Amino acid sequence: MDYRTFQAGTMSAALAEVKHELGPQAVILHTRSFVKNRWLGLRRKEVFEITAGRGARPNPTLRPAPIKPQPDPRRQLLESPAGQNIVMTGLFQEVTGLKAMVQELVVHANRARCPQIPEELFEYYSQLIQNQVAEELAADMIKTIQRQIRPEYARQADFVRQKIAEQIERHLPSSGPIVRTKAVGPHVVALIGPTGVGKTTTIAKLAANLKLREKRRVGLVTLDTYRIAAIDQLKKYADIIGSPLSVVGTPEDLSAALRSMDDCEFILIDTAGRSPNDALKLSELKGLLAAAKPDEVHLVLSTTASQQCVELAIARFGEVRVDKIIFTKLDEAAHVGVVLNVVHKVNKGLSYLTTGQDVPDDIEVGQPRRLAQLILAGPDAQLMMRQNR
C-alpha cells in the first residue's frame, strides 16, 4: 500500500489534510500525538500525526469480489478502528477544552465575588474553595499570606504552597495520638458517633496498634448490645489480637466490666451508632459515659458526610461529651476541606484520620501538615493517600 504521514496542530486538521491529499477512501493505519520542543526546549507544541494510505491495489490473480453496496466513504473512514481512535481523541480534546472553560468560568465567578483576594494569589484561594474549605476561612488564610510575603514571592508557587500549609496548620488543632499519662490503672477511651461512620473498625485499628505494635495490655468493651452482628464484629478482632472483650448494656454492668479489666493499660469502649436526632438514645449514651468516666471521648465522623450533617452531629454529640475528633473514610472523600472547617470551628483537637477498611493499617495520627498536603494536592489527594500506605 502506498502510505504517507501527515502532521498538524490538531487531530481534525491532520484528518482534513489526509482527506485532501488521499481522498475520502483513505485508510488510516496509525495515529499518535506527541510534544515537540522548540527553541531549545523553551516552547512546547503538541503535534498530531496520522499515517494513512490510498487503500490496497486490486490483486489481479483473485476473482473480483461480488459488488456489494458501498457505505458512504466518510462512514467507512469513521468506522475503521483508527478512525474511531480519532473520534475518541477529538472528543477527549473537546471535553478537556470544555473542562478548562468551565474551570475558568468558576474562577472568574469567584473572582468577581471576592475582589479582596489579590490576583496573584487567586489560584490558591480557588484551590482551597474547590476542596470545600469554607470561603471565609480560605479568604482569611490568603489575606494573612498576602500580609506576610513580599509581592515578588507571590509568584513562587512552592513558597506560597508552604505558606498555605502553615496557615492550614495554624487553623487545625491537633490532639496527637492516645497516650496514657497515669501510672496506675487503665486509660479509658470511648468512641461515639453517628451510625456506620467506622467506630468499631477504628476501635479495632487502635486496639491492634496498641497491642501488637506498642505491646500494651488492651481491654475492649462494647456498649453496642442492639445487634448480635456488632458484637461478633468486635469479638472477631478481640480474638485475633488476644484482648478481652466485655459486652455491657447497663451503667452498672459497665462499671463492673471496667473494674474487671483493671490490669489493662488501655480500655477502648465501642458504642452503638446513634442518630444525632435521637434524643433518647443520646441521653442513654450520656448515662453510660457518666458511669464509665472515660479519660477521653472521641467523636467519630465520616468525611463522606456533608458539612451540614457533620455540624449537626457535633452539636448533638457535643451535649453528650466530645474531647477529640476522628475523621474516617478519607479514602472515599471527594474533598478534605470539610475536616479543616469543622475542626477549626469547634476547636477540638483532631486525633486520628482513617484512610481505608484495612485493620490495622488504614489509620494515621491527625497531623495538620498531612491534611494541608492533602488539601493542596486537590484531585491527586487519593493517590497521595494510597502511596502513603
Provide, rounded to whole angstroms, the least separation between the CB of residue 357 and Mg ion.
13
User: 273 or 337: whose CB is closer to Mg ion?
Assistant: 273
Among 48, 301, 362, 373, binds ligand GTP (CB under 6 A): 362
User: 21 or 332: whose CB is closer to ligand GTP?
Assistant: 332
Give residue 117's identity as a one-letter amino acid code. I
Interface with ligand GTP, residue 328, by CB under 6 A: yes
**Mask 28-67, x = binds ligand GTP (CB under 6 A)?**
----------------------------------------
How is 259-291 classified by DSSP, letter by letter?
A: HHTTT-SEEEEE-----TT-HHHHHHHHHHHHH
Three-class SS state of 118: coil
User: Measured between alpha carbons, how far is 310 from 130 in angstroms, rounded to an integer?
Assistant: 19
Which residue's entry shows cell 471565609? 136
295 binds, among Mg ion, ligand GTP, none (CB under 5 to 8 A by kind): none
User: Measured between alpha carbons, how far is 61 from 49 in angstroms, rounded to an integer?
Assistant: 35
Provide, rounded to whole angstroms, the least separation between the CB of residue 222 and ligand GTP.
9
User: 178 or 197: whose CB is closer to Mg ion?
Assistant: 197
User: 102 or 384: whose CB is closer to ligand GTP?
Assistant: 384
Cis peptide before 73 (omega within 30 of 0): no
Interface with ligand GTP, residue 332, by CB under 6 A: yes
* Of residues 267-306, those binding ligand GTP (CB under 6 A): 272-273
Among 331, 336, 360, 373, binds ligand GTP (CB under 6 A): 331
Type and span of the H or E element at 36: strand 27-38
Residues 6+ apart with CB under 8 A from 218: 207, 210, 211, 241, 243, 264, 265, 266, 267, 268
331 binds, among ligand GTP, Mg ion, none (CB under 5 to 8 A by kind): ligand GTP
**Strand runs (DSSP E) across 39-153, as ranges?**
43-53
Among 195, 260, 277, 306, binds ligand GTP (CB under 6 A): 195
Three-class SS state of 350: strand
Interface with ligand GTP, residue 360, by CB under 6 A: no
In the bound complex, which residue of the shown chain has the CB atom lying closest to Mg ion? 200
Among 163, 171, 187, 199, binds ligand GTP (CB under 6 A): 199
User: 197 or 218: whose CB is closer to ligand GTP?
Assistant: 197
Interface with ligand GTP, residue 209, by CB under 6 A: no
Interface with ligand GTP, residue 356, by CB under 6 A: yes
CA-nearest of 221, 214, 218, 227 to 251 is: 221
> Taking the CB of residue 151, how many other CB atoms lie within 10 A of it?
9
| Phi, psi for residue 267 in degrees, rounded to 5 | -125, 125
User: Measured between alpha carbons, how far is 128 from 87 in angstroms, rounded to an integer?
Assistant: 36
Among 132, 174, 201, 222, binds ligand GTP (CB under 6 A): 201
Looking only at the bridges linking them, the beta strands covering 3-8 and 218-222 are unpaired
* Of residues 226-255, those binding ligand GTP (CB under 6 A): 230
User: 152 or 232: whose CB is closer to ligand GTP?
Assistant: 232
**Interface with Mg ion by CB under 5 A: which residues?**
199-200
328 binds, among Mg ion, ligand GTP, none (CB under 5 to 8 A by kind): ligand GTP
Angle at 325 between CA 198 and CA 273, to 5 degrees: 35
> What are the cell numbers at 116?
479582596
Three-class SS state of 214: coil
Provide, rounded to whole angstroms, the least separation between the CB of residue 197 and Mg ion.
9
- Residues in touch with ligand GTP (CB under 6 A): 195-201, 224, 230, 272-273, 328-329, 331-332, 354-357, 362
